[in-house]
Structure 1
Amino acid sequence: MQDAHMLLPDLTASVQTLPAQVSRLAYFAVFDGHGGARASQFASENLHQTLISKFPKGDVENLDKLVKKCLLDSFRQTDEEFLKKASSQKPAWKDGSTATCLLVVDDVLYVANLGDSRAVLCRMEQTEGEGESVVTLALSKEHNPTIYEERMRIQRAGGTVRDGRVLGVLEVSRSIGDGQYKRCGVISTPDLRRCQLSPKDRFVILACDGLFKVFSAEEAVKFVSKILQDESTDEKTGHKLEGAGLYEAACQRLASEAVRRGCADNVTVILISIEF
């Protein structure tokens, strides 16, 4: 198992002197390791600590800009610290990891991601009739060497892309760790997305590519939606599930279904409910 994750539903007390306009912080993250579990484990243990130390404090004017800078700086520092540790080992560690992090600042989501783990949002939209339809919104961007801009950066750095992989080996074009590929254009700069939440939003699925190899984003959202709407009954006890128990059951079923569909990879899934 080379995946790691972190769930911090209430980070508020961890940041000293929060900006006056911020009343609540939460953090959720998924890390999919390759070449070993050390990079994913390191990132899961350290990224949020760095984020807490760099989060804007006191009176600030441009909170949005500062939060984005904080995320970018935290990813860079986490990567640098892991690479320093990895290169000091004998033999040097070659582990790498994707990272998809969700930072909730009151009713705004900030998603920072590297690699191919993903975040998707379920939003209910009014249809022309009386009902509502489920809409799936991508909150992250995949980074693999077959994407034009990613391939160009790798080639400009002197690397090559063969069989859809960096140097014919690495499947992602951005990551934490992977020291031997950093000179070939593999970077640790995440993509950033900002999403204003609304009462129409229901939940976010945060998962590694193990889930998305056998589920499209739309399928995964509809699968969870159906379980939540059916107010699922626990198969073992026969009791009706509500609140956190219902979300936990939906999360477990989604991961189990990915395995049942033949996913041979690690499957890590976080399901975050959105309530107004």
Structure 2
Amino acid sequence: MGAFLNKPETKKYNENGEGNGLRYGVASMQGWRVEMEDAHHAQLTLNGTLSDWSYFAVFDGHAGARVSAHCADNLLESILQTEEFRRDDITEAIRAGFLDLDKKMRELPELSNGEEKSGSTAVCAFVSPKQIYIANCGDSRAVLARNGAPIFATRDHKPELPSEKSRIVQAGGSVMIQRVNGSLAVSRALGDYEYKKVMGRGPCEQLVSPEPEVSVHERLDSEDEFLVLACDGVWDVMSNKALCAYVHSLLQLTDDLVAITNQVIDTCLYKGSKDNMSIVLVVFPAAPKPDPEAQRADRELDETLRQRLTVLLEQSAGQEEDTSNHFSHVLKELVKEKIPGLPPGGGLAAKQALLDKIYREFYPDHTDSSEKFDCQAELADAFGAN
């Protein structure tokens, strides 16, 4: 659960689509973890009379990928099949669908016999023509942005929250080092059945609860810009405000949502994220469009960074016998210059690919240009997680 690679796996899975007046992009990356345990589901059109509804979800597995994969494949149908959904009680249908899935999943052979102990967080959203229904179970998070700022964010279910800790203690457990029984870092999740064995208590009264928190938001076509669903590998190093500002700025540069989501998780990697990362970006009609002035300013910023980094490289050339941390040293000097106009929320980390390219051009004989990952802790400190 806590094992890491020597270097991050940066190959990405991407997906995108357009329909029902929405556009979406997906990016996921294994990163430093030895296994990819995230999963997701994006569906622009639901079946039958729900053809104008869309569904998006992110699942962050732990102790294995079995539960997250099963949830990605089955949560939507579990919700749609509830009696509550047929009665148009969508909020209760989502809640019932989570509980039903958790109950049925327990009977899967590899989970019922105890061989598989994995669990998964889940954050999902239904977008109808008039409303957005958002549900969260665990510490993946959804954020809705208007005018470049977050107007709603789901609550992370952490064991130290008073209401969560109270349930855990009443079920006979404890919260140590901000973990359930000193082990699990989330207080709500699907799966994790070793924490759901307290006799005489219902599914929502166990050490770990499968119950989501569900909210509904009226759509404002003139103001809704985008919805982000992402696992904690993103939120560990980006605040809600920073990520919304960053995505808003990227939408002014390109309408390629795959490029934007890739840029976000790369930036999070450079900011110090050590976890798997998955992000689903859902864009509404009022989102920013590519702007020639913003694009011009970005090109000028790139040229400024090229000039300043080249100067620093020339000044440091031949000064260091040990070049193992040369790149990080030069970047730290660049950080000190506080160059104006860096991407809001992304900062210098958003330009890491450009800086790496400039460095490799200056030192073409340095075949391992991934030196930045060897000193990631130092770079993350220099770039700053916000």
Please report the TM-score for the alignment, with normalisation by the length of structure 2. 0.60
In structure 2, the partner of 1:42 is 70
Aligned length: 241
Is the aligned partner of 1:8 residue 2:31? Answer: no
Tell me which amino acid in the other structure corresponds to 1:179.
Answer: Y
Q: CA deviation at 1:271?
A: 0.4
- Whether 1:262 and 2:272 are equivalent positions in the alignment is yes
SS of 1:263's equivalent in the other structure is: coil
Specify the alignment match of 2:211 in structure 1.
189
Is the CA contact (8 Å cut-off) linking 2:52 and 2:129 kept in structure 1? yes
Q: After TM superposition, list the pairs within 5 Å mapping 1:160-179 onto structure 2.
A: 160-179=174-193
User: Which of 70, 79, 87 is the equivalent residue of 2:102?
Assistant: 79
Q: How does 1:141-220 map onto structure 2 within 5 Å?
A: 141-182=155-196, 183=198, 184-198=206-220, 199-220=222-243
Q: Which amino acid aligns with 2:213?
A: D
Structure with more helix by fraction: 2
Alignment-mate amino acid for residue 149 of structure 1: S
Displacement of 1:51 in angstroms is: 2.0
Quote the offset at 1:141 in angstroms.
Answer: 1.3
The alpha carbon displacement at 1:162 in A equals: 0.5
User: Cα deviations across residues 79-107 of structure 1 (Å, max 9, x unaligned)?
Assistant: 11111215655443211000001011222
Question: Residues 56 and 162 from structure 1, CA distance in 2 versus in 1: closer, same or farther, beyond 3 angstroms?
Answer: closer
* Structure 1 residues 88 and 41, CA gap change in structure 2 (3 angstroms): closer
CA displacement, residues 222-261 of structure 1 (integer Å, 9 cap, x when unaligned): 11111112x33xxxxxxxxx3xxx2221111001111111
Deviation digits for residues 150-186 of structure 1, max 9, x if unmatched? 0000000101110000000000000000001113521
Q: CA deviation at 1:122?
A: 1.2
* TM-score for both structures, normalised by structure 1: 0.83
Question: Any idea what the Cα deviations from partners look like across 1:5-41, whole Å, max 9, x if unmatched?
Answer: 0000111xx14xx3xxx66211000000001001100
Deviation of residue 56 (structure 1)?
A: 3.5
* Equivalent residue letter for 1:8: Q
**Identity rate, percent:** 33
Q: Whole-Å Cα distance in 2 between the matches of residues 86 and 169 of structure 1?
A: 24
Q: Where does structure 2 lack aligned partners over 5 or more consecutive residues? A: 1-35, 199-205, 287-386
Rg larger for: 2
| Letter paired with 2:85 | P
Find out whether 1:271 has 2:264 as its counterpart.
Answer: no
Alpha carbon RMSD of aligned pairs, Å? 1.7
Report 1:225-244 matches (<5 A). Answer: 225-229=248-252, 231-232=253-254, 242=255
In structure 1, C-alpha distance between the alignment counterparts of 2:65 and 2:180, rounded to whole Å:
20
Query: Which residue identity is paired with 1:115?
Result: G
32-41 or 254-263: bigger deviation: 254-263
